[in-house]
Structure 1
């Protein structure tokens, strides 16, 4: 993968405001579509995170409880952190998968994974460029880029940085972007001028995301029981999945987009095509052949998927998911034959 471009201009000696303009221009050149600055503080949502873990909603994601105290303040990720630069990077928001593809024995893959690239491998080099720029501006400074692998409450800091608000499906929403974007952060011990927080919600009385969840994973607005979430079940969960949840999984073999697809903020055409959104024919992991998945060996799976998001689930998880989807599709086919439209 080619290294992302770095501006040849030297930011050293720039005043704070001029440096921020420089940094924003570089972030845009690297493909980020939003940038906001938040102060490094103990986030108000930390107590809710602790209650969420105590309620058992994290399931097998024990790494959250194991590092819980580190989530309290960004200094748990970067010692002496003063500022958090929150960034949004778009992922493919292609049209809903055509049912004809699924009738041929394919399973759905969440949109963020459909390019075939692990987003960590795409975004981390870009964050390193921004960190390098900060250190060139302040040689004595520290900076670290993170994208959902560190004990960091990224969505809360993105909200504090003015990028958007947290929807009832727990995802960050932006009026221009909807929710089809990754959140990344750059932490630094340099105190930067902050942006205004996004205090207001624009979900109103809408409950489309809550109502559409096939497995009833939402305890209430803004509270997700991950142990019932299709994304968690098909990606993070290890071992057998409760049979009561199999039907709700439907055609999803990796992840789920239902609560995003029904969101009114994702309906605009701009959410579905753009400079960073390839055509369906350019998305090698838009769907997955279920029979091919069942025929994979550990060696062939590694060779094909080591550099993709699917590697997170490993072969055993993908094959488990494929079997569930096959049973669901067979059951659906039988229902259709008995009750033709």
Structure 2
């Protein structure tokens, strides 16, 4: 990260903060003027006006607070923007060829990054308050702060055509967090776009979720569908989901800048071996207690067992492995309608005639709609 050569009186304070951030385990640290003109609020308003946010109503509800970094805290003068590298030690797309196993997004293979990043942010903010006597507030992406454009302003990277942040040193694998402060710090030069004519991230998207570069229709994104959407996933997207059961790394993983994104053994984020391609059959058998145990401290836990098993069943339906009917059949009688419906779809894909013989009483309209595609007319 390039340090400004400005003669600003607080330049040395900025150097101290960066050194402390790196000591705490962050891999990137940049500075931006929190009160400067902010055009990104208009971009977000257009995104919502077009309905690209889907069922994520919280984005519309917090639109005004997202309109500018100071909309949540009018006294903020500077933003310290932090990045933590979570680049994988393997090609995350290899698992897509192992159809009996589950592809879980790299970011969700370890402890919840919100907790990991926030813990370090609080340590840095506490140190800043004690050291400089100014007010501070910390933010990760659960708060209504547009962190990616703020990170670009702070010089950490740029928003690629997939709308995620791309960093020259770390590729597309950076967790972001920010500390807003009343301390007046000289900003770093903003990063410029280095995507050029590359469109690898757009072309690989299984669901064509990018209507054009730098615009994402979340309603078509596998990450949105497997995490944010509560009901049945639209039928048109199920076959192309393959074995992706939580998130999707395709657009991130093909970024050419990832060749620089190596994580040291001292990194704060560590993937769990148990979540690097677990067997679909094992995941389908999870009940609520075993689901909570497996995904303790994991971001996966927040979608709940029912939605998770729904995703697993779509992957089983895509596997082509008739032997997996053994785990599908009990789930056709699951108490959760969203699980029963997904089980019917999976059974239809694997062994339709066998599935018909398993039909039991059903009164849920969405499950009945699944059965209507499998029963003889």
TM-score band (shorter)? 0.7 to 0.9
Which residue does the alignment assign to 1:261? 253
Q: Say yes or no: does 1:121 pair with 2:115.
A: yes
Which residue does the alignment assign to 1:191? 184
Whose Rg is larger? 2
Which residue does the alignment assign to 1:69? 64
Which residue does the alignment assign to 1:137? 131
* Offset of residue 321 of structure 1: 0.5
Q: Say yes or no: does 1:308 pair with 2:303.
A: no
Matches within 5 A, 1:1-341: 16-40=10-34, 41-97=36-92, 103=98, 105-115=100-110, 117-139=111-133, 141-198=134-191, 200-266=192-258, 268=259, 270-272=260-262, 274-276=264-266, 283-330=273-320
* Offset of residue 97 of structure 1: 4.7
Kindly indicate whether the alpha-carbon contact (under 8 Å) linking 1:113 and 1:308 is maintained by their aligned counterparts in 2: yes
Paired with 2:277 and 2:268, the residues of 1 have a C-alpha distance of: 15
Instruction: List runs of 5+ in structure 1 lacking aligned partners.
Output: 1-14, 336-341
RMSD: 2.5
Question: Residues 118-175 of structure 1, C-alpha deviation per residue, up to 9 Å, x if partnerless?
Answer: 1111111110111112211333x22111110111000000001111111100011111
* Offset of residue 263 of structure 1: 1.4
Alpha-carbon spacing, 1:327–1:245, altered in 2? closer, same or farther (3 Å): same
Alpha-carbon spacing, 1:134–1:205, altered in 2? closer, same or farther (3 Å): same
Paired with 1:131 and 1:107, the residues of 2 have a C-alpha distance of: 38
Kindly indicate whether the alpha-carbon contact (under 8 Å) linking 1:86 and 1:186 is maintained by their aligned counterparts in 2: yes
Kindly indicate whether the alpha-carbon contact (under 8 Å) linking 1:32 and 1:87 is maintained by their aligned counterparts in 2: yes
Instruction: List runs of 5+ in structure 2 lacking aligned partners.
Output: 1-8, 324-348, 350-377
* Offset of residue 235 of structure 1: 1.1
Which residue does the alignment assign to 2:361? none
Alignment partner of 1:25: what SS?
helix
Alpha-carbon spacing, 1:312–1:279, altered in 2? closer, same or farther (3 Å): closer
Alpha-carbon spacing, 1:323–1:186, altered in 2? closer, same or farther (3 Å): same
Alpha-carbon spacing, 1:87–1:278, altered in 2? closer, same or farther (3 Å): closer
Alignment partner of 1:287: what SS?
coil
Length-normalised TM-score, structure 1? 0.86
